[in-house]
Amino acid sequence: MTSRRAFTLLELLMAVMLLGMMSVISIVTYRSVVNGWRVSREYMDRLERTDFALDQLVSGLRCTYYPHNGEQSYEYGFQLEDRGDGENPRDSDIITWTKKGPALIGASASADALHRIELRVLEKGDSTWGARIEQTGLYARVKPMATVMKTSSSRRDEDEYDFKNEELYRPMLVAKDVDGFDCKVQPTVPQDGGDKKEEDASAFEDKFDASNAVPYKVQLTFYMPKEDPEYASRKTRIPLIRIVPLPIHKQSLDGAAVPGADDKN
């Protein structure tokens, strides 16, 4: 008769330990894959929402308005307040311009409606614009231009176009996943033979002194925070860059030529 050898207790314990280790490794791997998928999905959702909001902003800039009245006007000029590199709310720039149409306002707005827009990043808890901010993000204040249009340049009231009445012009959330903003401008059209190309980053400047006019192009950099899934305390910065030409630039130059007049640029 052939003898049959049974498993020893030690062998059984080792088998159970190996099975347990394999189970733990499988569970950890599965959780890592699921967590990575979830983080990637959330990031892509945030990126898609932010991209849509920024497209609305770009449309609003492309619809920049400047009157054909032969005069320059601060009420309609592009204004840039440079506050830093824009990588956090406190160092984010502020821009102000006048636009025509429903972009950033809503489909209910008339295609001929004029609005003055002020754009900046506000941090949670901030009350700079007269209302306590509940969520960090990119915000805008919108003011109908009817009051400015009725006010002559010789007796203009700065409160009418500088948003100093905080009770009337409350912040509107544009993109909740943006917590940094930097704006640079290309003040004028590059001259033939110049040493700066239109696409060259060095052509863009941090300041725009001609705030009674409109620059040739603006470069907008928006920052999205992205948490590193491996280190919850570490965040990486995701820059989203838009370069927007402003067709109204030539019209806003000294003399503000009416349509069909000789180009004075």
pLDDT, residue 133, reads 93
**What percentage of the chain exceeds 70 in pLDDT?**
77
- Report residue 259's pLDDT band, with 50, 70 and 90 as the boundaries: very low
The helix/strand count (H/E) of the chain reads as: 3, 8
Cut 0.85: pTM above it: no
pLDDT, residue 12, reads 80
The three-state secondary structure class of 40 is helix
Instruction: Please give the Cα distance from 141 to 118 (Å, whole number).
Output: 5
Nearest residue to 163 (alpha-carbon basis) of 99, 97, 114, 254: 97
- Report residue 148's pLDDT band, with 50, 70 and 90 as the boundaries: very low
SS (H, E, C) 64-124: ECCCCCCCCCCCCCCEEECCCCCCCHHHCCEEEEEEECCCCCCCCCCCCCEEEEEEEEECC
Alpha helices in the chain (DSSP H): 9-62, 146-149, 158-161
Q: Are 120 and 97 in contact (CB under 8 A)?
A: no
What is the per-residue pLDDT across 159-218, written as a single tens digit (0 to 9) for each? 455 677 767 788 999 998 899 999 999 999 887 544 455 556 678 999 998 888 999 999
Tokens of 104: 């950033």
Residue 204 burial by Cβ neighbours in a 10 Å radius (0-12, 13-18, 19+): middle
Q: Read off the pLDDT of each residue in 230-245 and give the average, rounded to a whole number.
A: 75
What is the per-residue pLDDT across 32-91, written as a single tens digit (0 to 9) for each? 777 777 777 777 888 888 888 889 899 999 999 998 877 788 888 999 999 999 988 999
**What percentage of the chain exceeds 90 in pLDDT?**
32
pLDDT, residue 44, reads 82
